[in-house]
Amino acid sequence: MPELTRASELTDAFARGRAESRGLLIGYLPAGYPSVAGGIAALTAMVDGGVDVIEVGLAYSDPLMDGPTIQAAVDRALAGGVRTKDVLSTVEAVARTGVPTMVMSYWNPVDAYGVGRFAHDLAAAGGAGMITPDLIPEEASDWLAAADSAGLDRVFLVAPSSTDERISMTASHCRGFVYATAVMGVTGAREASSVRAPDLVRRVRAATDLPVGVGLGVSNGKQAAEVAAYADGVIVGAAFVRRLLDADSDLDGQRAVADLARELSAGVRAPRK
């Protein structure tokens, strides 16, 4: 499989994190919530608060892996008429901040848009790559070729239930980092981080030199510090979405996600034990 022909923004970001002896903070929001412009403003506020990598969600009507918090925001984005072109314009706007900006998407919308076209348009918007939670490498030949052609990173998921063989195979098809789901089940903030996550990260590191990002459940600075002690990246989605859902206005929501980003950023920068 061909290597990427340009330097990866994600690779550079993780290298900076290692040089600083800290994990990266990776933050998610769906494009189009509370509006396209409001979503861009919220994501920019997260960057200002210390988020190192941004995931822009592509709203989909059947998000099987998303919990109720993210589903609520996605439903409102779809009701507001968000389209794939709005996702790409969101990526373009956020990428101008200088942080690596990815798309997080189920496969059906990308397939419907056109795989090669999507890869080209995402790269043209300044996107760093894409996370595909419901696409497995065995069924991703079109995406692998399109991503390589466009110079995009591609991130697949592994879980505690994954065998060592599947972890090795999945990691071999990733570029940028490997996404380790810390708990089984749908996304959502939790009171405690998964006790299974450190072992999963160890198993991934036995299979690849790629950085490992851990997602599902982190919602505060203490949890972020716990995960950053053993992972290269701490992925936070539902907690940011919840701050927007609970806000009384767009401006209050932007302030709330920026405050959470500062708390989480302090956590990932805490001295590692």
Q: The CATH number of the domain where 102 resides is what? A: 3.20.20.70
Query: Which of 55, 121, 153, 232 is the catalytic position?
Result: 55
- Give the model's pLDDT for residue 61: 83
Residue 200 resides in a domain: yes
| Tokens linked to 15 | 């290298």
pLDDT tens-place values along the chain, 273 residues long: 334 444 699 999 999 999 999 999 999 999 999 999 999 999 999 999 999 999 999 999 876 777 899 999 999 999 999 999 999 999 999 999 999 999 999 999 999 999 999 999 999 999 999 999 999 999 999 999 999 999 999 999 999 999 999 999 999 999 999 999 976 444 444 444 457 899 999 999 999 999 999 997 899 999 999 999 999 999 999 999 999 999 999 999 999 999 999 999 999 999 876
DSSP for 121-177, please give it: HHHHTT--EEE-TT--GGG-HHHHHHHHHHT-EEE-EE-TT--HHHHHHHHHT-SS-
Split into its structural domains, the chain has a count of 1
243: Cβ contacts below 8 Å, ≥ 6 apart: 253, 256, 257, 259, 260
191 domain-assigned: yes
Annotated catalytic, 55? yes
Q: Contact, 56 vs 100, CB < 8 A? A: no
**DSSP for residue 3:** P
- Which single residue is written with the structure tokens 């779809």? 78
Q: How confident is the model at residue 189, as a pLDDT?
A: 45
Whether 37 maps to a domain, the answer reads yes
Residue 124 domain boundaries = 9-268
Question: Is 189 within the bounds of a domain?
Answer: yes
Helices (runs of H) and strands (runs of E) counted in the chain: 12, 9
Active site residue 263: no
In a domain, 162, yes or no: yes
Q: How far apart are CA 242 and CA 264, in angstroms?
A: 15
Contact 37, 43 (CB under 8 A): no
Q: Which of 9, 12, 52, 66 is catalytic?
A: 66
The answer to the question of residue 2 being in a domain is no
Structural domain includes residue 4:
no
Residue 193 three-state SS? coil
The DSSP string of 34-66 is S-HHHHHHHHHHHHHHT-SEEEEE---S--TT-
Residue 248 lies in a domain: yes
Prediction pTM value: 0.93
